[in-house]
Structure 1
Amino acid sequence: MQRGFKAKAERISNQFRTELGLEYHEPLCGFKLANHLEIEVISPEILGLNNKELDVLLGNNSTSSGWSALTMTDCNNQKLIIHNTRTSIARQQSDIMHELAHIICEHKIVVPEGVILPSYMRYYDKFQESEAEYLGSCLQLPRECLVWAITIGNMSKREIATNYSASLQMVNYRINTTGISRQLKYIKA
């Protein structure tokens, strides 16, 4: 990531909360952010696939999922996100935030020479993926939210995960990457 990107990601997250009328510590729903950005989020079920095709694409049960999400450009040159509806709510939120981060960062699809992808697939380089990973996680759990949740909200990591529709792994990732664990001496498990 470029120098200063992490701070920029925090500012972007706070800006969207303000635009949506949320307090800095309130959860931000990926679906609402997509709507605010005029990006349609759809499920593959509406694509007319039969059950067998859907099982291959999405996984055949709640513990086995296929892919997570992808961003496409429709025939009107509008971005849309197709996401896996068979994953947990926390995973869906994370996936949508990740795809929105690609769009917000205006990442371009660059296909390496010799690689052939169908028109609906994307290929982002490692630099773009690291930006999308960080911004997406920041949209879901900004540093200020975590500090508020831990200090004022007196929430455990599990309570934070539930309140922000995040996985426990996401909560731990954000606590570790933001330096909160060093800043605050004690965080309840």
Structure 2
Amino acid sequence: MRRGFKAEAKRLALELRAELGLNAHGPFDPYAFADEYGIRVIRLSELSGPARDHLLQREGSALSGALIPIATGVAILENDAQPLARRRTTMSHELAHVVLAHEFGVSLAADERKCGLGGAQEEEADWLSGELLIPYEGALRLARADAADEDAAKLFQVSLAVARWRMNHSGARTVVRRTRTKWSGARR
């Protein structure tokens, strides 16, 4: 990931959320975002054929999502058989690739969270999608309140795994812990 990207992603995510009328303390709706920007979402269940049946699985190596170039734009193919929290994460990841203007042919997102673009583009899309789903400021507020990962997942409508990742890797809990340590030492 390029130097300074995490700070850039914090700012960008807040700007994108603001365009939808959202602050940092509530759930992000990737479907509203896609609609706002004219990005078509195609659900696997809307397609037909034997390949669809293979891809439209809930578990295993089933396709989660794909970013597909169409003329001068893109569409997102999503596996709507998966749980909504998973689909929201996949959508946010694919939208991050679009927002960041990543170069691609076809970006496939499987459950292993590898969509084929690899390297820095993957890391950037992961980080921006995380900031869209649970912004640093939202994670910081929850960390100050000693909220559990389950609380973060429920509030931001994400999976427990995504909530845990954002609460720990955003740095919010570390900042709160260090601040509390500093102030408890200063009182002595």
- Is residue 149–residue 167 contact of structure 2 (8 Å, CA) maintained in 1? no
Shift of 1:65: 5.9
TM-align CA RMSD: 2.2
Shift of 1:10: 0.8
Residue identity opposite 2:126 in structure 1: E
Shift of 1:63: 4.2
What TM-score, normalized by structure 2, do the two folds share? 0.82
Match of 2:184 in 1: none
| Structure 2: 5+ residue stretches without partners | 109-114, 179-188
Shift of 1:78: 1.9
Shift of 1:151: 3.1
- Is residue 65–residue 86 contact of structure 1 (8 Å, CA) maintained in 2? no
Distance 2:61 2:150 in 1: 23
- Is residue 24–residue 134 contact of structure 2 (8 Å, CA) maintained in 1? no
Structure 1, residues 76-124: CA drift from partner, whole Å, max 9, x if none? 32211001111111110110000001111111127xxxxxxxx786741
Q: Secondary structure at the match of 1:173?
A: helix
Work out which of the residue numbers 74, 91, 100 in structure 2 matches 1:96: 91
Residue identity opposite 2:97 in structure 1: H
- Is residue 143–residue 172 contact of structure 2 (8 Å, CA) maintained in 1? no
Distance 1:47 1:54 in 2: 7
Please state which structure has a larger fraction of its residues in strand.
2
- Is residue 107–residue 117 contact of structure 2 (8 Å, CA) maintained in 1? no
Match of 1:181 in 2: 173
Number of matched residues? 172
Please state which structure has a larger fraction of its residues in helix.
2
Distance 2:76 2:167 in 1: 28
Q: Secondary structure at the match of 2:63?
A: coil
Shift of 1:137: 1.2
- Is residue 43–residue 80 contact of structure 2 (8 Å, CA) maintained in 1? yes
Match of 1:39 in 2: 39
Residue identity opposite 1:91 in structure 2: R
Q: Secondary structure at the match of 2:67?
A: strand
| Structure 1: 5+ residue stretches without partners | 111-118
Matched, 1:10 2:10: yes
Q: 1:79 to 1:132 in 2, by over 3 A?
A: same
- Is residue 58–residue 65 contact of structure 1 (8 Å, CA) maintained in 2? no
Match of 1:68 in 2: 64
Residue identity opposite 2:156 in structure 1: Y
Segments ≥4 residues shifted beyond 4 Å: 119-122
Shift of 1:163: 1.7
Work out which of the residue numbers 80, 103, 108 in structure 2 matches 1:108: 103
What TM-score, normalized by structure 1, do the two folds share? 0.81
Distance 2:82 2:39 in 1: 21
Q: Secondary structure at the match of 1:41?
A: strand
Residue identity opposite 1:57 in structure 2: L
Q: 1:131 to 1:65 in 2, by over 3 A?
A: same
